[in-house]
Amino acid sequence: MKRILLFACLAVLVVGVTAASVQSPQPKPYKVVFDLTSSDPLDQRAVIRWIKEVSAVNAKNEMEVVMYARGLDLVVSGKTTMASEVAEAIRSAKVTFNACAIAMKNQQVEKSQLLPNMQIVPDGIGEIVAKQNAGWGYIKVGH
Ramachandran class of 121: left when φ > 0, alpha when ψ lies in -120 to 50, beta otherwise: beta
Specify if 120 maps to a domain. yes
Question: 0.85 exceeded by the pTM?
Answer: no
Q: Where residue 136 sits, what CATH number does that domain have?
A: 3.40.1260.10
- Identify which of 44, 116, 43, 124 has the alpha carbon closest to the alpha carbon of residue 80: 44
As averages over each run of 10 residues, the pLDDT of the chain (143 residues) reads: 52 53 74 97 96 95 97 96 95 94 98 97 98 98 89
The residue count for the chain: 143
Environment class of 71 (CB within 10 Å of its CB; exposed 0-12, middle 13-18, buried 19+): buried
**Could you tell me if residue 94 is inside a domain?**
yes
Q: Is 41 within the bounds of a domain? A: yes
| Position 86 in a domain | yes
Domain that holds residue 107: 30-140
Domain count, the chain: 1
Whether residue 17 lies inside any domain: the answer is no
* Identity at 60, one-letter amino acid code: K
